[in-house]
Structures are given as structure tokens and as C-alpha cells.
Structure 1
Amino acid sequence: MNILSSYSDREQQVDEPRSPNFIGAVNSGPSILGQYLRVARRWRWVIAGAVLASVLLGVVFTLLMTPQYTAVSTIEISREADQVTNIEGVESEASVADQEFYQTQYGLLRARSLAERVAAELGLVDRPEFFEMFRFDGADNPAFEIANGRYPAEGRAQRQREAARILLDEVDIDPTRLSRLVDISFTSPDARFSAQVANAWAENFIEINLERKVQSTSYGRKALQRQLAEYKDRLDESQRQLVTYASNQEIINLPSQSAVNGSSTQERSIVVDNLAALNAALNDATADRIAAEARFRQEGGSGSSAEALGNYTINSLRQKRAELESEYQELMVRFEPGYPQAQSLQSRIDELSRALEREEARISASVEAEYQQALAREGALQQRVSSLKSDYLDLRRRSIQYNIFQQEVDTNRALYDGLLQRFKEIGVAAGVGVNNVAIIDTATVPKVPSSPQLLLNVVISLLVGFGLGTGLAFALEQLDEAIADPSEVEHRLGLPLLGSVPKVDDGGTPRDALLDRKSELVDAYIAVQTNLAFTTERGVPRSFSVTSTRPAEGKSTTSLALATMLARSGKRVILIDGDMRSPSVHHLGNVGHDHGVSNFLAGDDNYEPSIFHMDDLNLDAMSAGPIPPNAAELLTGTRMRQLIDHLHENYDHVVVDSPPVMGLADAPLIAGHVDGVIYAVESHGIRSSQVKTALSRLAAVRTRICGAVLTKFEARKAHYGYGYEYGYGYGRDVETETA
């Protein structure tokens, strides 16, 4: 059954007359929050006790706790290593979506190997005070047996594992959301030790990260080293072959001009250089020969050559001769050729002519000699070039194998240089810019403990206590099967509620309360009678029995009260004592039960002597008669129905005070002979499961249950303590005051 279904409709006023559609209807009920509040109000002391106990335990536990200090260091984890050797950029951006990398880094921060490394670096493995700090009990472990103030050396590996486990239990890795920052916090009773561990954790993580990246390239470096050695041997061998062949074939190559400058390693043959140089010299010699020959051809012996015309001596001689000839012509104008002075000038002119001829002859011989020299030099150079051409052709033939060896050398050198460059790059990658983890903030020694926090623990204790109290309250509510509220009759038992009857507390009898027409009991049963009138189309059933689950639940009082209310409404009513095992109706008339219902059921048709009248209540009653050995056997026949039919001839209503249902067969048998059954339920005294069991017995004989009456109801013991006293006490205080 739903726990909430038991607590709805609790504020419904049930003592007022109901409409015809009220019986059997289900009230809408209060809200779920209202239902929770009602449960909390009923068990408020249980909840308060749980909260108080929880707070007290929390305070005591906080005061007894050892202060813990938490130190925090912050590191930054980049997605990739900084590329220091790359000129395009130094840092690459990390992708927010690439969570695999960061989750891996967080896992590495929690690795056991890192914890063992930190423990070894701080010397925790051999420090007994470290294990005592965290209350590690290794009394039964030989690795933790202290001898001469220290641990044994052979158990160091096991102690290192235990120390790592302790560190891992106290360390906390907290990544900052949407960033590359990670907080590494460590908690211990020693503030300084917490800071040491937090800083050592960050530093060792960086060192392990570097070592792991170096190790990741070690295999490639070793492989390249082997290949470098192999190609170095190949290069050396090919160079030896090349040098040996060049020596045997007398091939001499010189570095080219670009190789000398360092821009190329290409070589050139000395034959080629000589041939080129001689060919250039031959070209110059040919040009010189052609020029000399041209000068020689121009020389005609008349001194008209370019050399003669440009010679200073010749020009001077010619000028002096011209001057003398001019003087001689002036003398010839006045004198004869035989004139002495004229003869002297003529002699000097002849001498200058002979000197001029000798100088021109010398120049002509010089031009011819120069021509002959140029011709001879050209011929020699032609012979040398021809010889070098033959040597070059022979060199080309011998250089074929040399070039093959040279190509092999070049190939081996290129392979070797490539591997060497790759080896250098791996070395740079392993040693430069690989640290993608950086410490942002180092852990400082905490000044105040991080735990325990009294205020926080008190708040947690309040919440825990409230939760426990609430759970306990609902558990008690679920276990409490007592019917405390009128609304629970319908929800727990499935019966229409005819009314609730208050408990008589003034020490009087129910009969005395019924005689007081202003009593709360009378008001309650008037409401029951009113609701009972809506149970059938003809109003109140002509015959009905009143029963309960067990004795002393108020069924006899209900029977008497309903009979009294019907009688006061002008009806002829008779009350039959159907409880032949424990009769009580005869006490109302102060008569005996020597003759009664049991006599009629046994076969005596004369039932009138067993009827007596109660003047104060204005109704008739019929005693139970002598107690039979087995009342159920008397009720199995049709005599009970005949009795009721006979009584209907003289009475409007027949009310049967039936025995309780549990343990007896009398009530179901009687219920089969009446028009309806009214079920009395004791408030706060009977469990709903017992009532359901009894109702199932009545349902087995197809009994029509008109409704239930909640007896001995006390509003102060109800779940909510309000709403049900209005109909009972309204006007009592006013009447008392006016009296």
C-alpha cells in the first residue's frame, strides 16, 4: 500500500451529515507536501531526537578528529610539446575536445609508479614516523619490524608499495574545468609534510614525463646508430675504391672553384684545366700571330708602316733632314751646289738619309721577327692542345669506372648525411622543448587545517539527522497500523465512514452520556444516524447488526446509541442482544437473561417474555437468553431470520448487538440475516490488518457492510490534533459561561 494513501483527507469534517453521494466516495485529499508535513508533525519528536543525536555525534566526532592540512600545487599540461626548433611557431593550441590526452595525463598523475617515486625521493620508505602518521598497522608484517631503530633492508620493496598506497589514498587530482590547469592536493596531519609531498608530486611527474619521452625515442636512436655505422663503412669502402682506382689510373682531379667556396663538392680533372688554359693561350697566340702578320704584310720597306710612323727616332731624323733640305734650297737660290756651305748641308742631309734608312730597316726586321715568333708560338700551342686533346679523350675513357666509383661514393655520402641529420633531429626532439608540463604554483605550507570543519560537520549532521529522522518517522508511520484519524477508515479499510465517536472521559457510563442530549456522544451518534440514512434507498436499514473485530471496541455502545437515536426520531426500535457468549443488554434493563434469543433459536416460539422496555431511552430490548453450549450451531439455521421477521411486525428497526468477528463464527452468521452491518472500529487501539482480516470473513458470506463507526476517538491523539472537535465541543463553553 502506498504510504501516502494512508494520510490523505485527514482534515475532512466527518461528524456533519453527509450528502447521498458522500458514502463510498474518495476525497481528493491534501497535497503531497501536506501529507509529508502531517507525518512530520506527528513524529516531530522522533525527528527532533534524531537531529539532536546526529548533531551531538557530529560535534563530538569533530572535536575528536585529528586536524588535517591540505597543500595544493598547480601545474599546466599542454596538449603538445613546445616546438622550439620549428621556426613556424613555438606553441600549438590544445583542443578542448581532445579529452583522451588529458584523461591519460590525469591517470598518470594517479599512477602507482609516480607515488613510489615520490615515496623514494622523500625517504618515506625507511621512516617509521610516516607510517605512524597515517596509522598504518604492520605489526604482523616482517617488512615493518623495527630492529635497532630502523626497518630491515629486505622489506624495502614492500614498504615502498605500502607507502605509495598511503600517498595515493591522500592525494587528490583536481583538473580545472575548460583549462589546462590541474591542482595536486595532499592531505596529512603535518602541514609541512603536505607541502613537500604536493611539490614532489608535481616535480616527479614532470621528470617522469621527460624520461618517458626520451625513452620513446631511444629505440629509434639505437636503430639509426646501427644504420649510421653500416653506411659509414659503406662510404669509407667506396672512397677507398675511388682513391685506389684514381691512383692506379693516374686520374688527378681538383676541387672546383665552387667547391673551394664551400657551395659544392664537384671535382674537375687537371687535364681539363690544362686543356682549357692552353686552348685559351692558343686563341691568344693565334690572335697575336694574325696581328703580327697584318703588321708584317703592311710593312713595305718605305717606312710607311705603323711602327715606322710611330717611331720617335725616325720622326726626329725625318724632321732634321727636312730642316736641312729647307736650308739647302735657300742657299741654292743664291749660290751654286759647289758652294761650301751648300756642300756641307748636302753632306749632312745624306748622312741623315742613311741613318733614316738604317732605322727603318731595323723596324722592318723587328716586325718580321715578331711575326715569326707569333707564328712559332701558335704552332707550339697547337701541338700542345692536340696532345692534351688526346690525353683528355684517354682520360674520358679511363674516367668511366672512376665516375661509377664516384657515384657510389656520392650515394653513400647522401644516405649517410640523411641518416646523420635524422639522428640529430631525434636527439634534438628528445632533449629540446619536450617538456609540456609546467609548475604554475608551488604548494605552500598551510596555516589552518582543512579538516575537520566544525560548521560544515554540524550542517552535515543536521542534514543526516533530518534524513534519518524523516526516514524513521515514515518507517514508524508505515509500521503503525492503528487508525488514528477518521479519514484513515476509508483509505485503509475501504469502508465508508459513518462517523467518529468521542471517548467518554468524565467517568460516566455511555448510557448516562446518551441521556444528556447535549453531550458530545449524542451529537456524534446523530451524525452517524444521519449518514446511515443515506446507505440505502429506503433510509436507515430496517435490520442491521453492529459488530467489531474484537471485544471492548464500543460495538455495544454503538448498538445502544443507534437504537436510542432512532427511537428519539419517532421510530419503534428494538435492540437484540446477539452476543450469546457474553451478553450485556439485559444489564441495561436490570433484568436477567433466563429467557431470550437463545430460547427462540432453540425452538421456543414464545419470545415476547424476553422483551423488556427501557423508559429512559424509549426503546425495547431483548436479552440473549441462557448461554448455549455452542452459539454458532444455533445461528446456522433460519430461526434468527424468523425472529427478525416477527419483530418487523411490531418494530420499524431491529438493531442486533453482534459478537466480535475474530475467533468466532457468530457475527458472520448473524450478518447473513440482517439488511446490513455496521462495523465499529476502536480508534488508536486496533490494527488495520486485524480489521481487514475480520472484514474478509464478513465478505466471504456476502455481507452488506453499510459503513464503519470510529469509536473512542480522541482528537488530541490524532495525527494533526485539529478539525475533529468542532462538532463535539461547539457551544459547550458558551453554555457554561451563560449558565
Structure 2
Amino acid sequence: MNVTAPLSGNKGFGLEPLAGLHTDAEQIPAFRHYLRIAIRRRFIILGAVVACMVLGVVITLLMTPRYTATTTVEISRDSDKVTDFQGVERETSVADQEFYQTQYGLLRARTLSERVADRLRLPDDPVFFERFHFTSNDPAFSVTNGRFAAGMRNARLRAASDILLKNLSVDPTRLSRLVDISFTSPDAGFSTNVVNTWADSFIHINLERKIQATSYGRNLLQQQLGQAKERLDGSQRQLVTYASEQQIINLPAQSNNGTTTAERPIVADDLAALNTVLTQATADRIQAEARYKQAGRGGASAEALRNQAINNLRQRRAELAADYQKLMTQFEPGYPAAKAIQSQVDQLDRSIAREEGRVTGSQFADYREAQEREQALQARVKQLKSNYLDLRRRSIQYNIYQQEVDTNRALYDGLLQRFKEIGVAGGVGINNISIVDNADVPQKPSSPRLLVNLAIALVAGLAIGILLAIALEQVDEAIADPVELERRLKLPLLGSVPKVANGEEPKDALLDRKSSLVDAYMAVQTNLGFTTEHGVPRSFAVTSTRPAEGKSTTALALATTLARSHRKVILVDGDMRSPSVHHLGGVDHDAGLSNFLAGEDNIGSLIFEMRDLGIAAMTAGPIPPNAAELLTGNRLAVLIERLLQTYDHVVIDSPPVMGLADAPLIAARVEGVVFAIEARGIQATSIKTALARLASANVRIFGGVLTKFEAQRGHYGYGYEYGYSYGHEQKTS
């Protein structure tokens, strides 16, 4: 038996809940709880799965095959520029997804779908609408001789566009610029034709949109060019006028070896040239001054040394001086010949001095000329510097005007360049979309796919089956497990009794002392021994909510197990409306309880022995017109008191509680009640109503016995049948 904890005290309907029952029920994990629901309701789940699978196969076979054609296009990220002119627009990031999301939206635009429909002449094709099972009461779709009416083509165009969009899918490839465009229809060739036309039309619309934008930009640039031209002309006139007024003459820019020099004033060129001449004049003056100063040192100047006449005179003097020295070796200075030679030498000295003076005068004249030329050049340079500084002061405003001219010219040239480039772009077209793979005619249908449909049917069947199982569990209020007596009814559990095998009588099972039924009721008796201070109650009734819940079997079994404990027990059939004890004893019910309640005092004549079970019994007696009237008196209490004088225990098989007043009347005369509940046979609300009726009569309820219990169908565990079969299988194996 699964419950062996003692019962003590009075609470609720009469007993403290068995320790651990409530806690164990609440601590069961949700996964295990739902797993057991699935196992218990497995046939419902399997039925739902099988039904959905069959339905999936049938639907798959009935569906029209559909073919999907796919073309792949590449959408490149452009910067929305048609020229190379920099600084006009902000560069956008490559990772900017707004552009691509816009392109995906344009691929599903109604304008594009209507163009595709028009190119394929779908609004004029009745077969197209029949292919997609399109029906409408609009007169535009009336067919005459296999053709639509000539008018109201726009309505058909919109309908065809909607059909195309409904069967089109745009699937961007993640982390790439590739986009798959797919179309599904019952005709493989038609799907291919539509998707290829779709990609081609998308490219054409994209080009048209860019050309329209280019045309608008060209017109705008043309207006801006006129305005820039006016500003440039005005600034140039302003510059020329100011230069004329201020006498500012600049030499034009020159290009040398690829290098262009800016405009420069004439004064600057003059000053540069004159400054160069001044530098040379200064060098010449310095050189002439050095020669002049050198000539003043005893005629030893370089010019005198290089003078041929002076050198000849010096050579002649040297010769005469030699002759004179030769004569002096022999004669005195007054010697006539010596005197003549000395006179010639003196003459030569005067000639040399005269020539050297002439050279020195020439050098001085050169020095003075160089000095005067340098001073004249310095005066001219000083004058040009003054003129240049004055020109610089007057050129400040000129430069401002010149900068304005340069700016206007740069803007004009830039706009002119963009205008030329837009003209070229408008004629050529810029395309950032290209077809990577054209769609091929699909060879296999994309739907229906049997395996996919079966997988969906399997999942749907499992979901429906599980929902049905959970719903049935929520609706089902039957007591399925012993634990639920405490959890749902707050009723102490005395024990659970297994269901007797088909074809076996309960009495036969009780006669087999090794049967699981006997073991179960022995456990019930054991727990019943803890319900009072003196052990098993001396008098108690066994009742149930309604008939056929096993109350009579429970009363007979408890009486039998008590008798096998060497106690004298009598079983009284208190159900005077539908008696059953006489059947178990093989006697009639001509004399029994109803006789004593009617006034007969000879109890011995009303009792018979059930020797095979070792107990005494009293039948219900003749069925009275109204059993409740017999039970309202004190005769039942007198009977119990007299029986307890002879027997240790009086067990009364009481009628069901619902609909009858007999059970509360009988229960009020005994110590308490054992309540039999059929497993999965009665709703919990009915049991609560029956228990409430007993409680209102101040009846003590010892506990509940769960009868006809099948452990394999229980909610919370599988161990209830272990104790009933333990040992029996070992012996038979």
C-alpha cells in the first residue's frame, strides 16, 4: 500500500491530511505532469496526428502544382551623382540600408507590376485570370468570343497587377547586394516570362527615373549658368574700370614648362631689372675704387705693371743703370761718360713717373665714373621703390576685385563643366542595377511538397492532439489518482484498491489471500486503525456518492480482513432499496434489517453465517415502502448497540449519498464513515456535494478509499500497483 502514515486528529471532514500527500502532488515538475498527460491521452494525440497526416496527403494530392521561377539581380550602391564635380553633395555610407530598403520597395511597386502586366498583355488575356482563378462581377471582365471588352482596360490592368504582386516574392541575400525575384504560378513558362520581364522592367524604370532627374538638373544648371555669367561679366568690368582709373598696368600671366605665373605690374619688372643693373654698377665701382687705391701705392698698381711703355722705359733704365755701375768701378761720378749715363737715367725716371701718373689719373677717372653711375642707379631704384609701394597701396582694392573675378570665373567654369557632363549622362544613362542570372524554366513544381506538407501536418497534429489532451484534462473532473483525494477533495486517503480482472468476482478475489485485492484492503484496514484512539472503529458505515462505485465490495472486504485478524465481525446490509449482501451469502432477504427496524427483537433469526469468509451477516430484509421512515427512529442505534455486545465490529453497507436520505441517517448512528470513490468514474463536484451532505449531518468521515484504480492510467505516478503485485510475479516466473 502506498499510504502507511498514521491518521490522527479531526479536521475538515474528520481527519488530518496524510503527511506528504499534498506536498508531493504540488512538487511534481510541470514537464513530468504534461508528459504523463500525453502518455495517458496518447491515443487522442495519435489520432489527431494520423488525421492531420491523412488530411495533409489528401490536400497535397488535390492541390494544383505551382512552379516558381527566380531571377537574381545586383543592386549597386551609388552616390546619386552624375558628374565628377566634388563638394556638391554629401557622400553616403556603403552600410546605409535605407537605399536598399527603398529598392526592395520599388521592386514591389504597383507602377512596376502594371508595366509588367502591360508588357505581357495580361489585361487582355482571359486565360491569365482563369489560371489564377480570378472571378469578378465587374463588366470589365465579361468575355465575348474568348475576348474581353475593348473598354475598361484600366480595371483589368489593376487586377492583373494585384495578382502579380500577390504571387511575387523579393528575397534579398543577406550581407550582399544580390536580390532574388521569384514568381509562382501554375505554368512554369509563364512564371519564367514574368520574372524575367519584371527584372528588365525594373532596370528600365530605374534608368527613366535617373534621366528625368538629369533633365531637371540640366534645366536648373542652365539657369545658374546665366546668373554666374552675369556676375562674372560685371566683376570683370569693375576690375578694368578701377585699373584704368588708378593707372594699374599688369603684364599677363605666362606659362613656362607647365608652370603658370600670376599677373605682375610693370613697375615690379622695372624695379627688378634696375636693381640687377645697380648691383652690377656697385660691383664695378668697388672694383674701380680698388684699382685706384692700389695705384696710389708707389705706382705698383696692376695697370702700371701691365703697361708696355712703362715696362720698356724701366728696362732701358735698368740697362743704363748697369752701364753706370760698370763705369763706377773704374771712374769717379764726375767722369763725363758717367755723368751722361746718369743724365739719361734721370730722364728715364721722369718719363716713368709721368707714365705712372697718367695711368693713375685714368684709374681715378674710371672710379669717379663708376661712382656716379652707381649713385644715379640708386636714385632711380629708390624712385621705383616708392612708385611700387604706391602701386601696392592702390592694388589692394584691385586685388579684391581680381579675387571676385577669379571666384566668379571658377564657379562659372564648374557649372559649365557639370552642364556638359549632365548632357552626356542624359544621353547615355547611368545604371546601377544588373541582372546576374536570368530565370530558367523550372522543371519541378515548388508546391505542393509532400514532405513539407507532411511535416506541417505532423506538427499541426501534435499541436491539436496536445491541446485536445490538455483540454480534456481540464474538463475531466474525475478522480484518477489517490493523491487527488487530498489535493482536490481535502479527504484523507485510506487506500487505493486495484480493479478486479474482467470475469472475476470480488468475493472470489477475497477468498484468495494472496490476491492484490486482499493486500489493498489490508492496507485500508491498517490505516483505518489509526483513525480513532481505540484503533479500528467498532461501528462504521461504507457509503459512496452513487451506486456501483464499489462500496458493497469495500464493506465486505473490510469485514473479511477484520475477521481474519481474529475479530468477530458482522456485516449489515443497510441498503434496503437495492440490497446485495444476500447475493454474496447465497440466501434470500426475507428476514433482515428492515424486520428489526419494523419492531422484531429476535436478532438471532435475522443473522446468517458466511463461513467461507469467516463473518456473520444480516441482509436488508424485505424492501420497505419507505426506508428513510424506518431509519428515522432509534431502532438502528439499538441494533448497533446490541450487536456490539456480541461482535467486535459492526460494518454497515450503506446506500449511496446522492438523492437519498438513508446514508446520512445511518452514518449518524455509527462512529464514522468510510467513503468509497470509483477511480475515473465520477466527477469531483458530485463527490464534494455528497461529502457536504454528510458534513451537514455532523457525520465523521474517516477517509476515502479509491476503488477500481488502474495505476497505468494515473496522473502522478506508477508505483501504486507495486505493492499489490510484489512477490506474486516472482513466484510465477
TM-score interval (norm. to shorter): 0.5 to 0.7
Q: Residue 556 of structure 1: CA displacement?
A: 1.8
**Conserved 8 A contact 1:598-1:634:** no
Q: For residue 20 of structure 1, what is the amino acid of its counterpart? A: P
Hey, what does 1:452 align to over in structure 2? 448
Hey, what does 1:335 align to over in structure 2? none
Q: Distance in 1 between matches of 2:540 and 2:106?
A: 83
Q: For residue 188 of structure 2, what is the amino acid of its counterpart? A: A
Hey, what does 2:167 align to over in structure 1? 170
Q: Distance in 2 between matches of 1:257 and 1:734?
A: 126
Matched, 1:614 2:609: yes
Hey, what does 2:360 align to over in structure 1? none
Q: Distance in 2 between matches of 1:47 and 1:686?
A: 24
CA distance 1:85–1:221, shift in 2 (3 Å):
closer
Q: Distance in 2 between matches of 1:537 and 1:432?
A: 110
Q: Choose which of 122, 125, 128 in structure 1 pairs with 2:123.
A: 125
Listed one character per residue, the Cα deviations across residues 618-667 of structure 1 (whole Å, up to 9, x for unaligned) are 43444556655554456567765565455545443232221101112332
Q: Distance in 2 between matches of 1:682 and 1:641?
A: 29
State how 1:497-512 maps to structure 2 within 5 Å. 497-503=494-500, 505-506=502-503, 508=505, 510-511=506-507
Q: What percentage of residue pairs aligned between the two structures are identical?
A: 57
State how 1:222-241 maps to structure 2 within 5 Å. 222-226=219-223, 228=225
Q: Residue 701 of structure 1: CA displacement?
A: 4.2
Matched, 1:550 2:561: no
Aligned residues: 591
CA distance 1:267–1:25, shift in 2 (3 Å):
closer
CA distance 1:51–1:623, shift in 2 (3 Å):
closer
Q: Choose which of 13, 20, 30 in structure 1 pairs with 2:6.
A: 20
Hey, what does 2:557 align to over in structure 1? 561
State how 1:50-129 maps to structure 2 within 5 Å. 50-81=48-79, 85-86=83-84, 94-96=93-95, 98-129=96-127
**Conserved 8 A contact 1:596-1:607:** no
**Conserved 8 A contact 2:67-2:445:** yes
Hey, what does 1:709 align to over in structure 2? 705
TM-score normalised according to structure 2 size: 0.65
Listed one character per residue, the Cα deviations across residues 256-299 of structure 1 (whole Å, up to 9, x for unaligned) are 6869x9x999999xxx9xxx9xxxxxxxxxxxxxxxxxxxxxxx
Q: Distance in 2 between matches of 1:85 and 1:717?
A: 82
**Conserved 8 A contact 1:126-1:151:** yes
CA distance 1:597–1:567, shift in 2 (3 Å):
farther
Q: Residue 473 of structure 1: CA displacement?
A: 3.9
Matched, 1:156 2:156: no
**Conserved 8 A contact 1:680-1:708:** yes
Q: Distance in 2 between matches of 1:431 and 1:635?
A: 115
Listed one character per residue, the Cα deviations across residues 200-237 of structure 1 (whole Å, up to 9, x for unaligned) are 22232233333334444555544444455567789999
**Conserved 8 A contact 2:596-2:635:** no
State how 1:432-451 maps to structure 2 within 5 Å. 434-451=430-447
CA distance 1:654–1:108, shift in 2 (3 Å):
same
Q: For residue 459 of structure 1, what is the amino acid of its counterpart? A: A
Hey, what does 1:146 align to over in structure 2? 143
Q: Choose which of 585, 593, 600 in structure 2 pairs with 1:596.
A: 593
- How large is the Cα RMSD of the aligned pairs? 5.2
Q: Residue 107 of structure 1: CA displacement?
A: 2.0
Q: Distance in 2 between matches of 1:644 and 1:200?
A: 101
**Conserved 8 A contact 2:82-2:421:** no
CA distance 1:85–1:516, shift in 2 (3 Å):
closer
CA distance 1:646–1:426, shift in 2 (3 Å):
farther
Q: Distance in 1 between matches of 2:103 and 2:116?
A: 17
Q: Residue 242 of structure 1: CA displacement?
A: 13
Secondary structure of 2:607's aligned partner: strand
**Conserved 8 A contact 2:677-2:705:** yes
List gaps (5 residues or longer) in structure 2: 8-16, 242-248, 271-397
Secondary structure of 1:154's aligned partner: coil
Q: For residue 147 of structure 2, what is the amino acid of its counterpart? A: R
Hey, what does 1:678 align to over in structure 2? 674
Q: Residue 614 of structure 1: CA displacement?
A: 1.6
Listed one character per residue, the Cα deviations across residues 526-549 of structure 1 (whole Å, up to 9, x for unaligned) are 232123223445432233211111
CA distance 1:589–1:257, shift in 2 (3 Å):
closer
Listed one character per residue, the Cα deviations across residues 407-454 of structure 1 (whole Å, up to 9, x for unaligned) are 999999887666545545665776778533333322222233222223
Q: For residue 115 of structure 1, what is the amino acid of its counterpart? A: S
Q: Distance in 1 between matches of 2:31 and 2:515?
A: 37
List gaps (5 residues or longer) in structure 1: 1-12, 246-252, 277-402
Hey, what does 2:522 align to over in structure 1? 526
Q: Distance in 1 between matches of 2:264 and 2:213?
A: 43
**Conserved 8 A contact 1:599-1:626:** no
Secondary structure of 2:560's aligned partner: helix
Q: Distance in 2 between matches of 1:199 and 1:615?
A: 96
Q: Distance in 2 between matches of 1:649 and 1:79?
A: 107
**Conserved 8 A contact 1:68-1:188:** yes
Q: For residue 64 of structure 1, what is the amino acid of its counterpart? A: L
Q: For residue 207 of structure 2, what is the amino acid of its counterpart? A: L
Hey, what does 1:469 align to over in structure 2? 465
Q: For residue 556 of structure 2, what is the amino acid of its counterpart? A: L
Matched, 1:203 2:189: no
Q: Residue 678 of structure 1: CA displacement?
A: 1.3
**Conserved 8 A contact 2:140-2:155:** yes
Q: Residue 184 of structure 1: CA displacement?
A: 1.3
Q: Distance in 2 between matches of 1:503 and 1:515?
A: 13
Q: Residue 500 of structure 1: CA displacement?
A: 0.5
Q: Distance in 2 between matches of 1:60 and 1:615?
A: 65
**Conserved 8 A contact 1:143-1:156:** yes
**Conserved 8 A contact 1:73-1:199:** yes
Q: Choose which of 544, 566, 571 in structure 2 pairs with 1:575.
A: 571
Secondary structure of 2:148's aligned partner: coil
Q: Distance in 2 between matches of 1:49 and 1:693?
A: 36
Q: For residue 543 of structure 1, what is the amino acid of its counterpart? A: S
Q: Distance in 2 between matches of 1:449 and 1:584?
A: 72
**Conserved 8 A contact 1:81-1:434:** no
Secondary structure of 1:447's aligned partner: coil
Q: Distance in 1 between matches of 2:264 and 2:145?
A: 79
Q: Residue 562 of structure 1: CA displacement?
A: 1.0
Q: Distance in 2 between matches of 1:428 and 1:540?
A: 113
Q: Residue 43 of structure 1: CA displacement?
A: 4.0
**Conserved 8 A contact 1:77-1:180:** yes
**Conserved 8 A contact 2:574-2:593:** no
Q: Residue 173 of structure 1: CA displacement?
A: 1.1
Q: Residue 33 of structure 1: CA displacement?
A: 5.1
Q: Residue 713 of structure 1: CA displacement?
A: 4.7
Q: Choose which of 169, 194, 205 in structure 1 pairs with 2:191.
A: 194
Q: Distance in 2 between matches of 1:582 and 1:257?
A: 135
Secondary structure of 2:133's aligned partner: coil
**Conserved 8 A contact 2:172-2:178:** yes
Q: Distance in 2 between matches of 1:87 and 1:537?
A: 108
Q: Distance in 1 between matches of 2:712 and 2:614?
A: 34
Q: Distance in 1 between matches of 2:19 and 2:502?
A: 31
Q: For residue 465 of structure 2, what is the amino acid of its counterpart? A: G
Q: Residue 511 of structure 1: CA displacement?
A: 4.2
Q: For residue 721 of structure 2, what is the amino acid of its counterpart? A: Y
**Conserved 8 A contact 2:549-2:676:** yes
